[in-house]
A and B are shown apart, each in its own frame.
Chain A
Amino acid sequence: MSTLSVIYAILFYAATAVLVVGLALRIKLYAATPTPLKIPTMPAPLTKSGAAFRVFREVAFFESLFKSNRWIWIFAVLFHAGLALVLMRHVRYFQADIWLVVKLIQPFGIYGGMAMVAGLLGLWARRLVQERIRYITGPSDHLMLALLVLIGLSGLNMKFLSHTDIIQVKTFFLGLLRFNIQDLPTDGPLLIHLGAVAALMIVFPFSKLLHAPGVFFSPSRNQVDDARDKRHLAPWAAHMDADRDA
């Protein structure tokens, strides 16, 4: 067992802990913060299932983005759908017996990788070319794109140019799951790839990547239009009723 393997093992344990605990705390905070008023962006669904379906459409199809900007929508879909495929493809590294879906997705995963990078480059180009978006872009926005592109390119590189010993990579990750550290191959591209992924996991709960849980908690999207039928009252505001004249 090499020192490097130990370092990467610790890195991944730490990154996983930060990601899981960080996200859990953030989600807990969102859930615990009251919504004082009914503010769905109208027209809004009149039922709970309708509102859930509205959020689903946002998550699955980026419905509002489709309405507002076709180019951003195309690049965002390329990136996110690509990423989803890639993540599915990577499940095999954590399974001794691989699920059928993961096997079926295997040949498409690679297109996912390409779509992901293409989408990212499209989004990045907009940041540079489009004056309005350039104005609102900060250093962290470029860094985030750089990190994701690095992950994508280093991954594609291992598929097409400099292969790594993926059997050994799998042994390493299966080992991590059993708290039994195995050797990790020492190729540069792999180490870069994994290092960048760990970095992404660590910044996730502290960055704009919080849009992922955020979309589920957005009152303008998830609230039901029923204000006249049901009285909606935040706990912190309830005491005011006692002070009114009538």
Chain B
Amino acid sequence: MADQKFETPAFREFRDNPAIKDGAMSHSQPFVAKPEHNTPLGFPGELVDNWEVKAVEKLGDLLNKNRALRVYLDSCVKCGACTDKCHYFLGTGDPKNMPVARQDLLRSLYRRHFTLAGKLVPGLVGAKDMDKEMLDDWYKYFHQCSQCRRCSVFCPYGIDTAEISMAARDIMDHIGVGSKYSNEILAKVHVIGNNLGLPQPALADTLEGLEEDVLDDDGVDVKFPLDVHGADVLLVTPSADFFAEPHVDGLIGYAKVFHQAGISWTLSSYASEAANFAMFIGSYEQMHKVANRIRKAALDLGVKRIIFGECGHAWRVAYSFLNTLAGPWDFLDPKYPVPQHILEVTNGLIQSGGIVLDAEANDDKVLTFHDSCNVARGSRMGDVEGGQFIIPRNVIKASVNRFVEMDPQTTMEKTFCCGGGGGLLTDDLMELRVKGALPRMEALHDVVNNHGVTHMAAICAICKSQFTKVMPYYGFSMDMIVSVHQLVGNAIQLGAKE
């Protein structure tokens, strides 16, 4: 599937909803995981015997464990309010990418086996038995959901299709049908500690290289410490920060902030990954296992605080789930929330004067900001409701002079996913990724044309990688996308404080 042929969707002049195109994306699915990707996670290697029955059993298990699943499957009234809210529907017109239709793929099985109406009059209530056709639809369309939660904002009952997708993927993993991308990466994390499979020596090498780069560029000896016992701060950051562009410029930005503020910090080679891919496959057990690498690293290194780098899904797991999965954090310094986001730290330092920024350093740029879906709708920063919108903007505005907002229908809690979240950031889903980026690309196009925007900042490793890849399809240059801490890194005044 290396040379997939498809057309990049055209910008919609009036942002009207696409006409329904049945089966428009029925060919899209990620590579199926092989036994060597599944078994390390405790899943069956391939499709099990009796899978139709096993799937129903697993659904029953999840229904008893997760109130959201049960309530959401019962409550939908088919009002249709969510039908035009998903970027994958807007970009493809495939009706199964309407959130409610996606939910119905699982709901039909739920109704058949767990509701009276579905048992008595299945045809009336859309109840169906599990068969190959249903499994195929599940595999395709539950891998066309980036679990961005945009639909849940607009549903009168808060029905979150992300929860349904996670449950469906968990069920599929339990009958031996997983996505290669997510499962292969998770297997790497359990052995090596990060998604890229970067072992300790390679990581140490990379960090040394970064120290040399910064010394060459800025003449300042900024350190990138690894596995330092007794450091105050453990920094957990997405592994893409170690080498991908523009991520690595963000990492350099964090290091400069720590350096200038005099904060002692370290990375851990054992917990060298912020992103917890187990959320994508909806597995609590896997999520627990990955998250507890961070607990172990914090204990082993004897740190006092944990800070996360720029990453959207990572921050959702960190902010909303880490206390549940890997807490309690009673061994850390109670003065700080656990964990903290690097932006909370930088924002605090800007306000206290702990670091000084010179926004002129970024005067060659006009910035806009892409709210990452999982930060916007799955987490918070700071201590007020909506701080996840305020703090990144404060930091950007302190780092650049010219900042422009995109269409308010596409920012903050209404933000559109980049199109590559939720375990879909794989080349085998390129068509989906390009088409799903349409709403964001349209909003960007507006501010580029009308306000001369030159760069878009993001705070998520997936957003950054996704945009780098898909922006050229829409006629934008791939280096338009920047890390927020790249801007901070450019603007920060290093050296002795007055």
Q: Which residues of A contact B (CB under 8 A)?
A: 26, 29-30, 33-39, 41-46, 50, 58, 62, 64-65, 67-69, 72, 76, 123, 126, 130-133, 135-141, 143, 203, 206-208, 210-211, 214-215, 217-221, 225, 227-234, 236-237, 240, 244-246
Contact = CB atoms under 8 A, between A and B. Distances in A.
B124 A42 contact: no
A210 B155 contact: no
A230 B118 CA distance: 39
Max chain A CB contacts within 10 Å: which of B124, B285, B320, B377? B320
Report the contact-size class of chain B (Cβ under 8 Å from the partner): 35 or more
Contacts of B66: 33-36
Interface stretch (B50-58, B93-101, B232-240): B93-101
Contacts of A131: 19-20
B293 to A, nearest CB: 9
Contacts of B337: 228-229
B452 interface: no
9 contacts: A39-B160, A44-B385, A132-B98, A136-B83, A203-B117, A217-B71, A218-B157, A225-B385, A237-B284
A161 B341 CA distance: 67
Interface string B39-77: 000000000000000000000000111111011101111
Interface in B261-315: 284-285, 288, 292, 295-296, 299-300
Contacts of B126: 138, 140
Interface string B94-123: 010010110010000000000111000001
Contacts of B380: 42-44, 225
B359 interface: no
Closest 3 CB pairs of A and B: A214-B75, A68-B154, A220-B158
Contacts of B384: 46
B202 interface: no
B325 to A, nearest CB: 8
B238 to A, nearest CB: 20
A68 to B, nearest CB: 3
Given A132-B84, A135-B101, A220-B68, A62 B158 contact: no
A201 B78 CA distance: 20
Interface in B388-429: 388-389, 413
Given A35-B66, A64-B155, A225-B385, 20 more contacts: A33-B67, A36-B324, A37-B284, A41-B413, A43-B385, A44-B385, A132-B20, A132-B84, A132-B98, A136-B98, A141-B78, A203-B117, A208-B78, A217-B71, A218-B68, A220-B152, A228-B338, A234-B65, A237-B284, A246-B295
B383 to A, nearest CB: 8
B377 A34 contact: no
Contacts of A210: 74-75
B288 A135 contact: no
A244 B327 CA distance: 11
B157 A211 contact: yes
B77 A208 contact: yes
A138 B125 contact: yes
A101 to B, nearest CB: 27
Interface in B354-404: 376-380, 383-386, 388-389
Contacts of B84: 132
Contacts of B319: 227-228
Contacts of A46: 383-385
A223 B101 CA distance: 26
B152 A41 contact: yes
Contacts of B70: 29-30, 33
B159 interface: yes
Contacts of B24: none
A39 B100 contact: no
Contacts of A67: 153-154
B320 A231 contact: no
B75 A218 contact: yes
A187 to B, nearest CB: 30
B63 A41 contact: no
B125 to A, nearest CB: 5
A64 B153 contact: yes
Contacts of A232: 323-324
Nearest to A66: B156
B320 A37 contact: yes
A65 B64 CA distance: 29
Contacts of A138: 78, 124-126
A100 B436 CA distance: 57
A36 B284 contact: yes
